[in-house]
A and B are shown apart, each in its own frame.
Chain A
Amino acid sequence: MDLNNWFFGLEYRSVPDLIWRCFFLLLASALMLWLIYLAVIKAAPAKKKIDVPRDFSLKLRFLAALPLFLVVFSVYIYFFIKTAKPSELQWQQPSFYLNLLPQLIIYAGIIILFLINYSGYVRSLKKTEVNHA
């Protein structure tokens, strides 16, 4: 097992290998998402025109971090496809998609996470409770 295989391998080896790849990719994605989220939080201007509660602000920034992560992830996918040998890109083969499963999970997961957070945020805005936790 090497790092290259974890992130750029397309060859199916075994189920545990696939699980490991999935695990490392998720871990790396989470780390990247956390870094982007942190960067978005810290990059926010100190003085705001509207005094938004910090809870809202952090939720909103997380929503902003998700698309940013998706961009970074897309760059990764670009290099991922670019480094693959043409023989490995067997689009008609179901096993090819099995090998792409970690990337697909993250792609879909990010979109689902965005939608869940977005709807939760909108819902909390509409609430008439004093705190919106």
Chain B
Amino acid sequence: MPKPTIIIGIGTSGLRIVEQVQHFYYENTGRNKPDHVEYLYLETDENSYPGVTALKNEIKRVYLDLGNKETMINSLKNNIRLDGSWLPPAGETGDNDAGAGGWPAFGRAALWGFENFNQVAKSVSNAFAAVANYDVKEGDDSKPVVFITGSLTGGTGTGVFIDLAYMVRNLIPDIDDVFGLFLIPGLGKDGGFSDKETIYCNTYAALKSLDYFTSKRNGPKYALFYPNGSSAKFEKSPYKLVQIISQDYDGSVPSIGTLAGLYKMAGLYVFLNIYGLREERMRRLVDAWQNEHMGKYGTFGLSAIQYPKAQLEEFLAIDLSLELLNRWIDPNMYYAQGNKIQMNAARTGIRKETFTHFEKLLREAFKSLDTVEVEKGRQIANDLPRQARLVNFNEHQEESDYHYIWKLFSSQQAGNYYEAIRHNIKRAEDIIIAGIHELITGSVDSYESLYLAHMQLKIIIEALDNCLNYWKSLKLSGQQPKWEAMLDQQIKWMLKKRYKSVFEQNNVLADRLKTTLELLKMHLIANKLVAIRNNIVEGDFPLVTFENNVELPRLKVLDGIISIIGKTAGKEERQKDEKQLNVLKERKAEILDDIQDNSIPILRVYPSNSFKDEVKNSNHRYKQLSSKSIPSKNDIIGEASLWTYLSRSKDTLNKNLYFDCISQFERDIRRYESVKDMNISDYVQREPREAQKIAARALYALAKVNPDQATTFRDHMNIPKLVIGQDQPTINRVIEKLVGDMNFHEFSNDKNGVLEIGGLKNILVFYAEKGLMNNNNLFNPAQHLRYIRDLEMLYHDTPRYRGKSPQEWHIIRMPYIKYQKEEN
């Protein structure tokens, strides 16, 4: 029966491991986590976030803010209830700028400082509350299992890992099962420390600290006050069992080539533990612990034969995402009703349509001003015939008809047409802004081509220029003196030859007044058109309408979106300050690297014998099953507006695009079952030699031991060594083939050698736990690691080269042990 479980990743390595756990779980179940598990991760680097997942990412980030280290450390030092002797000097910056700066003391201070401590406590309590009431059967205890994982190399992991374990014990009373899985560095390629002395020093300090709290001694090991006023007092070690792994194998097996490979192995291990392995291990380890065949430390060997279905799905999702993004930023063609259209060929038609749209807009804008009220209930357009009659029948009070008309239109008079139009000109401007916005959004939504929208926006600029130039040729401008001069000409024209002989003087004058009113609108809107034009061309901030805040599309925005999409796709080079950019092409390369990484002990197998062919077949199957020949925005955002989606926020666009594209396509790929499952035992029947090679790698521990060339790990009946697969028949077929064809007897298919996990598809795992040395000593990394003595020397020698005293060095690297004690 699975127990409630909390998995806590510390630092970026911790995050990557938890991500792998989530990934493996998704791969096998189609969900990111089971109901009885909660994922947390603690981070001091503000730029580190969980990556993309097809479903909602279940990893809850707890950010340990180290924004102002100096104030934080001083505030901790000033808290008289706290033992601040371990606190680092406040003014220093660490080995680097990111997060805890590589200093364990900063990492620990980050956990303690400001609101961070309360936030972590709250997150752990919430996670516990979320899983505590999980369907626990009678007889089971409801205390959860907590896995804490990360690397013992940087400042965050090494600074937090002991406090965190005790915090968990403090927050969840009587909890026993606190497990640690920590990554340590292997030896560098040169067999030494490869200029990464501080990392190795942190590892040494962490192992020593862990040993300090884990070794048998009397009295409380951990007794202190926390910054929130609560206290903790523990005699037991922080972890029930700590697993230590590195890229190096104990044996002549080549190391795991990349850190990502190690994250994958750690993730696979934790995943298996929440999926059934932990119960089996505990069943066996109870006896091992009782008989002292296992101590507080362990490591393991792990290998697998896997059909990388999830990677295939992600790769295919990226391919489709790239196809979609390239469609959006294709400068040469776009799609209309499923047909590919050359942009250049369509240009004339688009130009004509856009000009027509602009003319329509201008007409609407002008018309909107006809309804402006000059007096209550009297709209300007309806007022003109009345004014014409007043002039023609001389029913006004002014000295002359000229003067009367001048007063109506002059910029120097108040309460007239000029003022009424000027006060309402925003109405016309808004119609033009909204109209251009509608044109561009409509185009982007319908054709999904940003270059088409770009072209249309440029045509709008051309139309605006043409319009303004034409008005200029009519001697119209937004300047008041010019308007007054023009008004003089207009009035003179209005008053001459009014067709009285055919009784048309009222109509003619009303019409001429209307013409003058139109000119007045042009005069007043001219400056607005110039502003709109300039805003489209080079505006930093958008012009917006008064109602609904509709933004005027700008070339800068379009160019920015195109650039971000290009960068997200990997078509455009990223800038120096864009390290955090998510790039699909890079992710694709990462998957390929991962798939082709032969240094990790996971053998990738395919029904068609090649990853490339598998992608091709799956792509074909996807398009056939989904009946979609080309990807479209509907695959990502449904019926929502693409323009709104793309223009929402420049800062988050890359992240949103990257995440949404991959996750939505992955979801669709799964829905259509474009990538089929594979029975691993079929492969073993075909290639028993390769299968045997990979199974044998699980026999070697992922930690190099044996500093005295005499001790290494040994097997024991109480220490689990398992073949883990979907069902017994599959495992039987594999074992029988390995025994029969390859004479390989290291794994057996008896009761103690097999773990059946029903949902475990497309993968067969070989697992061997390690913890007992061949001289019957229990494994302790602080004693048995191959390079532990070199680490010790390095730790003591390095301060000299770094200009630090041994005490200063100790304070920043080993915050859990008082300096004198360590020396003792």
A58 partner residues in chain B, CB cutoff 8 A? 499, 502, 504, 508
Q: Is A88 an interface residue (CB 8 A)?
A: no
User: Which residue of A34, A37, A55, A129 is within 8 Å of B511 (Cβ)?
Assistant: A55
Q: Quick check: A133 and B508 within 8 Å, CB to CB?
A: no
CB distance from A128 to the nearest CB of B (A): 5
Q: Quick check: A53 and B515 within 8 Å, CB to CB?
A: yes
Q: Quick check: A133 and B511 within 8 Å, CB to CB?
A: no
B475 partner residues in chain A, CB cutoff 8 A? 130
Q: Is A131 an interface residue (CB 8 A)?
A: yes
Q: Quick check: B490 and A55 within 8 Å, CB to CB?
A: no
B602 partner residues in chain A, CB cutoff 8 A? none
CB distance from B384 to the nearest CB of A (A): 12
Q: Is B496 an interface residue (CB 8 A)?
A: yes
B490 partner residues in chain A, CB cutoff 8 A? 130-131
CB distance from B476 to the nearest CB of A (A): 7
User: Which residue of A34, A54, A55, A128 is within 8 Å of B501 (Cβ)?
Assistant: A34
Q: Quick check: B507 and A54 within 8 Å, CB to CB?
A: yes
A55 partner residues in chain B, CB cutoff 8 A? 508, 511-512
B501 partner residues in chain A, CB cutoff 8 A? 34
CB distance from A126 to the nearest CB of B (A): 13
Alpha-carbon gap, A55 to B519, bound state (A):
16
B489 partner residues in chain A, CB cutoff 8 A? 130-131
Q: Is A89 an interface residue (CB 8 A)?
A: no
Interface residues of B in 486-505 (CB under 8 A from A): 486, 489-490, 493, 496-497, 499, 501-504
Interface residues of A in 49-68 (CB under 8 A from B): 53-55, 58
A53, A58, A131: most-surrounded residue (chain B CB, <10 A): A131
Q: Which residue of A lies closest to B511 (CB)?
A: A54
A133 partner residues in chain B, CB cutoff 8 A? 493, 496-497
Q: Quick check: A129 and B504 within 8 Å, CB to CB?
A: no
User: Which residue of B473, B476, B502, B519 is within 8 Å of A41 (Cβ)?
Assistant: B502
Q: Is B80 an interface residue (CB 8 A)?
A: no
Q: Quick check: A130 and B486 within 8 Å, CB to CB?
A: yes
Q: Which residue of A lies closest to B473 (CB)?
A: A128
Q: Is B1 an interface residue (CB 8 A)?
A: no
B474 partner residues in chain A, CB cutoff 8 A? 128-130
Q: Quick check: B502 and A37 within 8 Å, CB to CB?
A: yes
Alpha-carbon gap, A54 to B510, bound state (A):
9
One digit per residue, 1 when the CB lies within 8 angstroms of any chain A CB and 0 when it does not, for chain B 199-224 equals: 00000000000000000000000000
Alpha-carbon gap, A38 to B500, bound state (A):
11
Q: Which residue of B lies closest to A40 (CB)?
A: B502
CB distance from B492 to the nearest CB of A (A): 9
Alpha-carbon gap, A103 to B792, bound state (A):
130
Q: How many residues of B contact A (CB 8 A)?
A: 22
Q: Quick check: B493 and A131 within 8 Å, CB to CB?
A: yes
Q: Quick check: A38 and B502 within 8 Å, CB to CB?
A: yes
One digit per residue, 1 when the CB lies within 8 angstroms of any chain A CB and 0 when it does not, for chain B 502-536 equals: 11100110111001000100000000000000000
Q: Which residue of B lies closest to A133 (CB)?
A: B493
Q: Which residue of A lies closest to B506 (CB)?
A: A54
Interface residues of B in 254-270 (CB under 8 A from A): none
B507 partner residues in chain A, CB cutoff 8 A? 54
CB distance from B405 to the nearest CB of A (A): 13
B490, B496, B501, B502: most-surrounded residue (chain A CB, <10 A): B502
Q: Quick check: A130 and B496 within 8 Å, CB to CB?
A: no
A128 partner residues in chain B, CB cutoff 8 A? 473-474
CB distance from B734 to the nearest CB of A (A): 84
Q: Which residue of A lies closest to B470 (CB)?
A: A128
User: Which residue of A37, A54, A130 is within 8 Å of B476 (Cβ)?
Assistant: A130
A54 partner residues in chain B, CB cutoff 8 A? 499, 504, 507-508, 510-512
Alpha-carbon gap, A73 to B493, bound state (A):
35
CB distance from A27 to the nearest CB of B (A): 15
Interface residues of B in 452-502 (CB under 8 A from A): 473-476, 486, 489-490, 493, 496-497, 499, 501-502
A34 partner residues in chain B, CB cutoff 8 A? 501-502
Interface residues of A in 109-133 (CB under 8 A from B): 128-131, 133
CB distance from B366 to the nearest CB of A (A): 11
B474, B497, B499, B507: most-surrounded residue (chain A CB, <10 A): B499
A53 partner residues in chain B, CB cutoff 8 A? 511-512, 515
B510 partner residues in chain A, CB cutoff 8 A? 54
Q: Quick check: B515 and A131 within 8 Å, CB to CB?
A: yes
A130 partner residues in chain B, CB cutoff 8 A? 474-476, 486, 489-490, 515, 519
CB distance from A52 to the nearest CB of B (A): 9
Q: Which residue of B lies closest to A55 (CB)?
A: B508
B476 partner residues in chain A, CB cutoff 8 A? 130
CB distance from B689 to the nearest CB of A (A): 87
CB distance from B356 to the nearest CB of A (A): 16
Q: Which residue of B lies closest to A130 (CB)?
A: B474
CB distance from A61 to the nearest CB of B (A): 9
Alpha-carbon gap, A129 to B511, bound state (A):
16
CB distance from A50 to the nearest CB of B (A): 12
Alpha-carbon gap, A37 to B499, bound state (A):
12
One digit per residue, 1 when the CB lies within 8 angstroms of any chain A CB and 0 when it does not, for chain B 315-341 equals: 000000000000000000000000000
Alpha-carbon gap, A125 to B507, bound state (A):
20
A37 partner residues in chain B, CB cutoff 8 A? 502
One digit per residue, 1 when the CB lies within 8 angstroms of any chain A CB and 0 when it does not, for chain B 408-432 equals: 0000000000000000000000000
Q: Which residue of A lies closest to B492 (CB)?
A: A133
Alpha-carbon gap, A130 to B475, bound state (A):
8
Q: Which residue of A lies closest to B501 (CB)?
A: A34
Q: Which residue of B lies closest to A37 (CB)?
A: B502
Q: Which residue of A lies closest to B486 (CB)?
A: A130
Alpha-carbon gap, A37 to B519, bound state (A):
30
A41 partner residues in chain B, CB cutoff 8 A? 502, 504
A38 partner residues in chain B, CB cutoff 8 A? 502-503
Q: Which residue of B lies closest to A53 (CB)?
A: B511
Alpha-carbon gap, A53 to B496, bound state (A):
15
Q: Which residue of B lies closest to A58 (CB)?
A: B499
Alpha-carbon gap, A53 to B474, bound state (A):
17
Q: Which residue of B lies closest to A65 (CB)?
A: B502
CB distance from A125 to the nearest CB of B (A): 15
A37, A55, A129: most-surrounded residue (chain B CB, <10 A): A55
Alpha-carbon gap, A129 to B503, bound state (A):
26
Alpha-carbon gap, A41 to B515, bound state (A):
20
Alpha-carbon gap, A129 to B489, bound state (A):
11
CB distance from A5 to the nearest CB of B (A): 30
Alpha-carbon gap, A37 to B504, bound state (A):
12
B503 partner residues in chain A, CB cutoff 8 A? 38
CB distance from A4 to the nearest CB of B (A): 30
B486 partner residues in chain A, CB cutoff 8 A? 130
Q: Which residue of B lies closest to A41 (CB)?
A: B502
Alpha-carbon gap, A133 to B475, bound state (A):
16
CB distance from B478 to the nearest CB of A (A): 15
Alpha-carbon gap, A130 to B489, bound state (A):
10
A53, A130, A131, A133: most-surrounded residue (chain B CB, <10 A): A130
Q: Quick check: B512 and A131 within 8 Å, CB to CB?
A: yes
CB distance from B5 to the nearest CB of A (A): 77
B493 partner residues in chain A, CB cutoff 8 A? 131, 133
Known: A41-B502, A54-B499, A130-B515. 9 other contacts (CB 8 A): A34-B502, A38-B502, A54-B507, A58-B502, A58-B508, A129-B474, A130-B490, A130-B519, A133-B496
- 9 tightest CB-CB pairs across the interface, nearest first? A54-B511, A131-B493, A133-B493, A54-B508, A130-B474, A54-B507, A128-B473, A58-B499, A38-B502
Write 10 A-B pairs (CB below 8 A) sorted by A numbering: A54-B510, A54-B511, A55-B508, A58-B504, A129-B474, A130-B486, A130-B489, A130-B519, A131-B493, A133-B493
**Chain B residues within CB distance 8 Å of chain A:** 473-476, 486, 489-490, 493, 496-497, 499, 501-504, 507-508, 510-512, 515, 519
